């Protein structure tokens, strides 16, 4: 692998561009270390998941541009982006990543608000009399 590979990850409203290159396991999100950008441990685990699956935690450097959505959506978008970029590096990773469910884009997003209701499904209090 002579130059960096890139991929896009999406989740809810979040979109991330992931750039993968040979290195020693440094992950940078929007110019910060991922542990500073995602302070919660379960979000850090989301970012690390693809590397743990293929047991290559310290073989690649990752640079991520994240936009839109919230922290959780961005973390899961990074997870998908890293998994897709790893496929470009080595297609043999596909069965392992697929079995772990890392190549599937989560289609769930916020349901739209309906007219005459408070939110998508929540209704105003009903008074019979």
Residue 129: the pLDDT is 87
Residue 34 has pLDDT above 70, yes or no: yes
Which residues 6+ apart lie within 8 Å of 18 measured at CB? Answer: 6, 7, 8, 9, 62, 63, 64, 78, 81, 82, 84, 85
Within a domain: 30: yes
Which residue segment(s) compose the domain that 10 sits in? Answer: 5-99
Q: Helix axis angle, 41-54 relative to 71-89, nearest 10°?
A: 10
Residue 56: the pLDDT is 83
CATH number of the domain that residue 84 is part of: 3.30.230.10
Average pLDDT taken over every residue of the chain: 92
Domain count, the chain: 1
Within a domain: 105: no
- Which tens digits make up the pLDDT trace of 47-95? 999 999 998 878 899 999 999 999 999 999 999 999 999 999 888 999 9
Residue 2 has pLDDT above 80, yes or no: no
Residue 1 has pLDDT above 90, yes or no: no
Within a domain: 29: yes
Give yes or no for a contact between 101 and 50, defined as CB atoms under 8 angstroms apart.
Answer: no
Place of tokens 């990752």: 62
3-state secondary structure of 57: coil
Question: For the chain, how far is it from start to end, CA to CA, in angstroms?
Answer: 73
- Please give the structure tokens belonging to residue 2: 């002579």
Within a domain: 17: yes
Within a domain: 63: yes
Within a domain: 119: no
3-state secondary structure of 120: coil
Compare 1 and 18 and report the one with higher pLDDT: 18
Within a domain: 45: yes
């Amino acid at each position: 692998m002579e130059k960096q590979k890139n991929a896009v990850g999406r989740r809810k409203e979040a979109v991330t561009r992931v750039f993968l290159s040979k290195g020693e396991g440094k992950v940078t999100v929007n110019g910060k270390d991922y542990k500073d950008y995602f302070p919660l441990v379960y979000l850090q685990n989301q970012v690390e998941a693809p590397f743990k699956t293929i047991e290559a935690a310290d073989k690649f450097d990752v640079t991520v541009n994240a936009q839109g959505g919230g922290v959780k959506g961005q973390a899961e978008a990074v997870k998908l982006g890293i998994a897709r970029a790893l496929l470009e590096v080595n297609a043999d990773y596909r069965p392992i990543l697929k079995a772990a469910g890392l190549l599937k884009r989560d289609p769930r997003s916020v349901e739209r608000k309906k007219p005459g209701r408070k939110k998508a499904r929540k209704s105003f209090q009903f008074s019979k009399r």
